[in-house]
Amino acid sequence: MYYFLYKAYENPEEEHNYYESRKLFSVLMNFFGDESKNEFYKSMISYCIMRQNAGIKKFQYELFDLYNEKLDQGLYHEFRLKMYPINQFRDYVFIGIEINKFEWVENFINKYSKELPLDIQNDEVNLSFAKLYYKERHFNKALQNLNQIKGNNYIHYLDSSVIKLIIYYEMEKIEDSYLEIDKLRHYIRNHKEIPIIHKEPIINFLKIYQKLLKLKSRPYDEYSGYLSNIINSVKRIARKEWLLEKVLE
């Protein structure tokens, strides 16, 4: 079991090694204690995230299955941990939304959010529901949740601001868009603790987003193709698929 998972990490494209390890784990899991099971789940989840980040969409469904297995076995103590700046709770919400399991996401938030540390609980819940409502195109409901976020955690602030910008664009609230851009840029400038890995995708998003606003007011084919090329050439950019979709529109 461990050997096949090791081989999967050694050669990620050889996915049959992962599936063989997963199959053996399903047979043997009852021989493991909760701590050992949890550690092996972490390793399988990390592999699936790696494949998902490589653009292999089927691993979103595999992640969803792994998360559900963990929940069924009561292996969700990590939700209670104070892991600054993010909690793994958000990963479950993300995957559920990505594969359009909207009812599952709502039930998950309602059932498991009480496990979160109190100092992040309200912001995490509001942000999770905002993401869900945005995906369902209930924009006003999403904004209501976003406006309740205090943003003491920079991840919560960045996430909520980007979703606001997307919603303002969809609702054609151009003035609100520019105001939010200024607020977000000001926030990033004044919070030196934000690591570059979290800061850079947002900064790149803002650059393209402003160009997108200009394109919306003066659309023409030559510039839209140029903008698509810029988006595709940037390695780290938040909401890349959404940006490309809007350029095509």
Confidence class of residue 218 from pLDDT cuts 50, 70 and 90?
A: confident
Query: What average pLDDT is seen over the chain?
Result: 93
Q: Above 90 in pLDDT, residue 160?
A: yes
Show the tokens assigned to 222.
């030559």
The answer on pLDDT for 249 being more than 90 is no
Task: For residues 196 and 121, give the distance between their C-alpha atoms in angstroms, rounded to a whole number.
Answer: 26
- What pLDDT digit, counting tens, does each position of 14-23 carry? 999 999 999 9
SS3 call for 132: helix
Residue type, 241: E
Cβ-Cβ contacts under 8 Å for 93 (sequence gap 6 or more): 105, 108, 109, 128, 131, 132
Sign of the CA dihedral with 9 first, then 13, 14, and 18 last: positive
Which pLDDT value is given to residue 22? 97
Query: pLDDT tens across 126-145, in order?
Result: 999 999 999 999 999 999 99
With 0.85 as the threshold, say if the pTM is over it.
yes
Separation between Cα atoms, residue 37 and residue 33, nearest integer Å: 6
Between residues 83 and 51, the one the model is more confident about: 51
pLDDT band at 217 (very low <50, low <70, confident <90, very high): confident
- The structure tokens listed for 248 are 């095509």
d(CA 248, CA 161): 23
Which pLDDT tens digit goes with each residue over 165-183?
999 999 999 999 999 999 9
Secondary structure letter of residue 234 according to DSSP: -
> Coil, strand or helix: which one is 129?
helix
d(C-alpha 170, C-alpha 147), whole Å: 17
Q: What's the pLDDT at 219?
A: 66
Give percent of the chain above pLDDT 90: 84
- Let me know if 199 is exposed, middle or buried by CB neighbors in 10 A (0-12, 13-18, 19+): middle
Q: CA angle, corner 206, sides to 105 and 126, nearest 5? A: 25
- 8 A C-beta contact, residue 162 and residue 179: no
Q: What is the model's pLDDT at position 220? A: 67
